[in-house]
Structure 1
Amino acid sequence: MTRQAKAPSTSRHSATFIVSFIIQQLAFVQTCTAVTVYYQAGQKPLGGTATDTGVAARYTGAAAYNPTTLNPPPPPGPDALPTQFAMQFSNAVPPGASIPQSGAFFGFSIEMSVVNQVLGKNSSFIQVPFLNLMANLQQRSGRINIRVGGNTQERATLVENTTDGRIIEKDLAGIINPTQTPPLVFTPELLQLLRNISNLVNVRWYLGVPFNDTSNFRLAIAERGQQILGDYLIGLQAGNEPDLYVDHGHRPQGYGPYDYFGEFGMLVQAMAGDEHLVNRGLLIGPNVNSGPWSPEMVWNTGFVDAYANNLAYLAVEHYPTDNCYAQYGVGTPRDPQETFPNYLNHTAGQTLIAPYLNSSAYAQTKGKPLLMFETNSASCGGFVGISDSFGAALWGLDYGMQMAYSNFSGALFHIGGQNVYYNPFTPEALGPSNTTQVLDMSANNNNIYSPVYGIYEHGNLVRALLFNYVTDSTGASDLNVELNLSGTQVSGEVQVKYLLASSVSQKGNFTWAGQTFGGMFDSDGRPIGTESVQTISCTSQSCTIHVPAPGAALVFLYPSSRSDTAGAPSQTFSTSARTNTHNTATVDPSVLATSNGHSGMDNKLGSTSEGSVSSAETRYELFIGSALSLVLSVVAGWALILGLT
């Protein structure tokens, strides 16, 4: 059933976002019968093997709920993974550690066209699972930063009312670009929805100014955004992936960094002449993708110096690869089974970050925070069997910590629609102190399967995060890591929380300190089960930590470093309304349009990611139950260890 939030009498604001609320969001499915929804072709793996072959063979539903499970890679053997090694930690922050990081480092990027599916139908109908998850995070991590935008923001127009009364309408007849992203109209009710969420939990918002018509900037979203959201509005994106504008037909051939520089200046000028804008220093740029421009090409125009007073953040967007062939039949075919191992080692995150190390250093010289404004496991919707697996949880955790270590100041994992396999997360190893510094320890002679991070707060070592990427049920690949903590104040023991699953290919039911968000259709946004925190005895400030294969271990050196409720008091939101719970749902395909708003468009399908084009539309029957279906697959583990303490 779908539920509506009823505001509590009091609320404390603090949160960092975790994702797995999709599981509960689909819980109502069990009470409903089938309705027709739409998806894009090509959702079966090229070479993947399903654990439950019967289910996989029959499955014809949306990518977010695809049960296909891949085979985990075999253990690499003792030569490739020494299972016993020692780590020497110092109490003081060593050279090479990151800049201080916020507890809100990890957040969400939500495609504008699916906000009414993810957050709520309107300002008075907010999703309870979403709020429960926010409350669960706010008690641990401080606050949540969420971007509402993406490619669908580029042609969005604010109107006072829509013909059908919804907060968003998609102009399916007005599609003119090759990525088949429909123009949007939205009402101030959408912004009021965001504000009402922030009244309940401490969510801060990034929005975007439409950038398709630079001769007549539509500044209403900035004007009303500031009026309605106030201090909860923390940034305005100016141009989404401008380096892909030519490829997507949004600018003529020859459009380059200096052209974007000029258009950004035109926006600054337009905002300067708008008396309704109180804060003109919220812009975010250049938001380049891993396309034909490098960030340095924009820096070299003098962009940052010219617009320093207007720039709140510098930002880039990046995905490790694409899966456009499976979704749209174009580009390079990629076999998920063969691709899976690429996500299951420490070099995956390091490789993603390497092109941006110069930019993160440059941003510091200019006094500007650098954001990874949009990312996930693969563009064009991710990979079946990879993007919603435990292996992706480990990859996301490692990648996120690598971004923090490399001096990004925030990272947003993207949500597109129910026809995508990937899903976002928010880390919690960072904690709510906003003084956290991260150091990649180059553990086990830089072994790619067993990375270790040191985590410092207020200048002192407080936690260590250990990984094991290998799947091995025999125990032969379990790690035993000796932590030498001389010089610290560790007495006779430390405490450990484990992120665990039976295999890197497992879907759902990941456990974090013995608790889980469950499997698909199981969760209401709150962890279930009894928390289990392990106590490890130490001798002469030496502690041996066991890390199962696969798994991750977060080691708390002191009781005070396990501040489970440091962000805000625990809170659960109640229900005040329900939708139909019988097989009476009739769903307009336009309501269920997903993934950047382009599904169900009369055989005109495409993607806003580079390299995709239109493809054929396919209908299928799926137990959804109402138009209010959320748009994420399940990676509960990402939510659990990242950012929660």
Structure 2
Amino acid sequence: MLLPTLLWSSSFISLARAGVTVYSQLPLGGTATAALPSFTAPAYNDTVVLTPPPVPSPPISTNFFIQLNSAPNGVQGLSIQHQGGFYGLSIEMSVANQVIGRNSSAIFPQFLNLMAALTQRGGRAQCRVGGNSQESATLVTNITDGKIIEKQQTSNNPTQTPNLDYSVDLLYMLANVSNLVSIDWYLGIPFYNPEDLQMQIAELGSQILGDRLLGLQVGNEPDLYSAHGHRSATYGPADYVGEFGLVVNAVNNDNSIPNKKLLLGPSLSGTWAPELLWDAGFISDYTNSLATLTVEHYPSDNCNARFGLGKAVDPQTIYPSYLTHTAATSMVAPYLNSTSIAQANNLGFMMFETNTASCGGFPGLSDSFGAALWSVDYGMTMACANFTGGLIHLSGADTYYNPFSPPPTNMSAIEQWTVGPMYYGLLVVAEAIGSSNTAQLIDLQANSANAFTPAYAIYENGECAKLLVINFVSDATGASNLNVTFSIGGGSTGEANATPAQVSVKYLLAPSVAEKTNITWAGQGLGGVFESDGRLQGDLNVETVACNQAGNTCSISVPSPGLALVFLTPQALSESTPSATQTFPTTFFTKTQNTATIPASVLSTSNGHSGSSWRLGSTSKEQNGARGVVIPGMVALVAMVGAAMTVCRALTR
């Protein structure tokens, strides 16, 4: 495969920061570093910080008891068994070349590191490449300069979604990623013109990705087609069901798509109730073609600020509504009937695209620790309600809710990535549901169903394996810290006492819900703006808490704000805690000009050399004859990298 060879080769290249060190004359010795290029990112470098909601009045009960069954037998309301990798990413197709890689030969190691952290905890990850930008995407034979995507801004879309050209190398890139990290993919069939279907992404995706292709979306938020000018004003659920049938027929008649049960729909935004589609025969007509049922839903939107659409929303005003368990339950409630219908028809039911708010999220809210807590509570609530997965959306640099963002291309040689709070939510849910593929969850309605302190039990392999408790209250005094006592078995369960001698606890922590970067998961973090190579930094901190086996009780604390994931068995801890972390070296870079480096020891002692013996050159590309003077060792290195790229591209394809 290409990438390991390329990364290994590139590790020989020393990458300089864009500063110049000047060695001064004594007695004024020392160093001075020139300022880095200035850049103001519209979202991930935004300094807006909201005010945390006040401590609830009257105050919440901070001491409460949870009774757990030692086995799932007899637990009322337990969810279906969940596969690992419940939470995944929905990557807008138009930014795939910014987030995943430039092409199949240049995959970003930061992306691989971030995804490897998820797959090592959840066993796998699922990612969708699509969104609104998939709907008119066109396959082209070639794009200049090794690009895989070319955008053309369109004026006929209210959210300014660009038209896309893409090359087949996009799909080879996804296949190469899956060869390095255990990721499965969802793609989308362009659907703005169902009378002239472009099925190439389905055909080539099937051939190149094979079993790694989990599904093909047919229509992204079709209930908004009319409002966005892509269908007539009378377009309704029955129209979509009929158009879906055109794709079904195309797939069934296409020998290049061997798996006929790959289609996904209806991917509604919430404007139409899903039952309108079920009543129109969507499931009954297309059962043999459907891989899973899908919906998309955001709790709010920032479209007025971004595009002048709808009503203006003040993030500070709505911030408290995200910081209770009610936020999650209200998001899931409209789909409870549909998850039951899906199970009755042996189909999955996915939240195919979601995040804190559509149109890029809110400054200070979507990029805060509170959003991380919200995402965990939301994911766990979906799992309890028998959703079979959820995909957190990720888009461009002007988006506040991104789990992670690369630096602009012109700064990729000097800056690392920015990891947002939402990524920590993905990590926690990956560990909570784990990789056993047997996890069953239940909302414990803890603390008399107090909305500020939700708690969940996770059963695996026939036993109670984990307990997760969230504290949404932001209280710097510590007066709102929780003291949670629990028992396993005994009491009203009718089971023998089963509380272990000790448990292990991991904490998701930050100083307040408004915090943006000072966030840790089990003592480790991913840095601030432009600081992450995708690898968790710091020492892992898993606290061991002794239990009272004689009294069949155990007590843990949960800071305010914060989250505690309690591992009740050694096996549960080991499956969610990689002993050896898979990482990829970040010596790979995209800047290829003006990258010369000089060792400091050479530079500091170089005065006095004879200029007559030096042939001077230019840092501009091919500007004088000095380019003919080369270092033989560099020739071999460049040749080695080039040969590796050529050979491995051929092998991959």
TM-score with structure 1 setting the length: 0.80
Q: Cα deviation per residue 1:406-450 (whole Å; 9 max; x = unaligned)?
A: 100000000121111112442221110011011000011110111
> Is 2:505 aligned against 1:496?
yes
Shift of residue 247, structure 1, vs aligned partner: 0.3
- Do 1:192 and 1:228's aligned partners in 2 also have CA atoms closer than 8 Å? yes
Partner residue of 1:156? 137
Which position in structure 1 is the counterpart of 2:334?
355
SS in 2 for 1:64: coil
Tell whether the 8 Å contact from 2:435 to 2:575 is kept in structure 1 after alignment. Answer: no
Aligned mates of 2:155, 2:247 — CA distance in 1: 25
Aligned with residue 213 of structure 2, among 214, 233, 244: 233
1:472 lines up with 2:479 in the alignment: no
1:140-289 equivalence runs, <5 A: 140-172=121-153, 175-289=155-269
CA distance in 2, matches of 1:401, 1:225: 31
Q: Say which is worse superposed, 415-424 or 325-334, in terms of deviation.
A: 325-334
SS state of the match for residue 378, structure 2? helix
State the shift of 1:191 in Å: 0.4
Pairing 1:616-631 to 2, within 5 Å after superposition: none
Q: 1:311 aligns with which of 263, 278, 290?
A: 290
Retained in 2: the 8 A contact 1:484–1:543? Answer: yes
Q: For 1:285-364, what aligned pairs fall within 5 Å after superposition?
A: 285-291=265-271, 293-364=272-343
| Counterpart-to-counterpart distance in 2, 1:64 and 1:269 | 44
Rounded Cα–Cα distance in structure 2 between residues aligned with 1:555 and 1:241:
38
Cα gap change, 1:581 to 1:339, in 2 (>3 Å): farther
1:461 to 450, 464, 470: 464
**Equivalent residue, structure 2, for 1:392:** 371
Residues 329-377 of structure 1: CA deviation (Å, up to 9, x unaligned) = 3321211111110111110000100111111111111110000000000
Secondary structure in 2 matching 1:6? helix
Decide which moves more: 390-399 or 90-99.
90-99
Report the equivalent of 1:450. Answer: 453
Letter in 2 for 1:382: G
User: Do the aligned partners of 1:90 and 1:488 also contact (CA within 8 Å) in 2?
Assistant: no
Instruction: Give aligned-pair identity as a percent.
Output: 51
Contact 1:290 1:317 in 2 (8 A): yes
Query: Where do 1:11-30 residues align within 5 Å?
Result: none
Corresponding residue to 1:418 among 375, 383, 397: 397
SS at match of 1:401: helix
* 8 Å contact from structure 2 (residues 133, 163) kept in 1: yes
Taking a change above 3 Å as real, the CA distance of residues 562 and 31 of structure 1, as seen in their structure-2 partners, is farther
Q: Which residue of 1 aligns with 2:541?
A: 532
The separation in 2 between residues aligned to 1:568 and 1:127, in whole angstroms, is: 24
* Amino acid corresponding to residue 210 of structure 1 in structure 2: P
Which residue is 1:544 aligned to?
A: 555
Deviation, structure 1 residue 581: 9.0
The structure with the larger Rg is 2
Once residues 578 and 381 of structure 1 are traced to their aligned partners in structure 2, the CA distance between those partners, rounded to angstroms, is 28
State how far apart, in whole Å, the 2-side matches of 1:541 and 1:7 are. 55
* Greater Cα offset, 63-72 or 495-504: 63-72
User: TM-score, length-normalised on structure 2?
Assistant: 0.79
User: Aligned partners of 1:135, 1:359: CA distance in 2, in Å?
Assistant: 32
Higher helix share: 2
Q: How does 1:554-593 map to 2 (within 5 A)?
A: 554-564=565-575, 570-575=581-586, 577-580=588-591
Residue type at the aligned position of 1:314: L
**More off after superposition, 522-531 vs 388-397:** 522-531
Residues in 2 aligned to 1:28 and 1:117: alpha-carbon distance in whole angstroms: 21
- Report the CA distance between 1:181 and its aligned residue: 1.8
CA distance in 1, matches of 2:486, 2:249: 56
Identify the match of residue 79 of structure 2 among 95, 98, 102: 98
Equivalence for 1:117? 98
The CA deviation at 1:35 is 7.0
- Matched residue type, 1:477: S
Q: 1:132: Cα distance to partner?
A: 1.2
What are the Cα deviations for residues 43-75 of structure 1, in whole angstroms up to 9, with x where unaligned? xxxxxxxxxxxxxxxxx6311221211111121
| Residue aligned with 1:160, SS | coil
Distance in structure 2 (CA, Å) of the matches to 1:582 and 1:481: 58
In structure 2, the residue matched to 1:132 is: 113
Distance 1:319 1:488 in 2: 43
Q: CA deviation at 1:520?
A: 1.8
Given candidates 57, 61, 82, the residue that maps to 2:61 is 82
Higher relative contact order (CA 8 A, sep 6+): 1
Alignment partners' CA distance in 2, 1:73 and 1:402: 23
Alpha-carbon distance in 2 for matches of 1:392, 1:177 = 29
Secondary structure of 1:92 counterpart: coil
CA separation of 1:103/1:328 partners in 2, compared to 1, >3 Å: closer, same or farther? same
Shift of the 497–201 alpha-carbon distance from structure 1 to 2, 3 Å rule, reads same
CA distance in 2, matches of 1:76, 1:118: 40
CA distance in 2, matches of 1:433, 1:305: 32
Distance 2:108 2:204 in 1: 23
Question: Counterpart of 1:434 in structure 2: which amino acid?
Answer: N
Amino acid at match of 1:6: P
Distance 2:505 2:476 in 1: 21
Residue identity opposite 1:418 in structure 2:
A
Deviations 1:100-149 (A, max 9, x none): 11111100000000000000000010111111122222222100100000
Distance of 2:123 and 2:523 partners within structure 1: 23
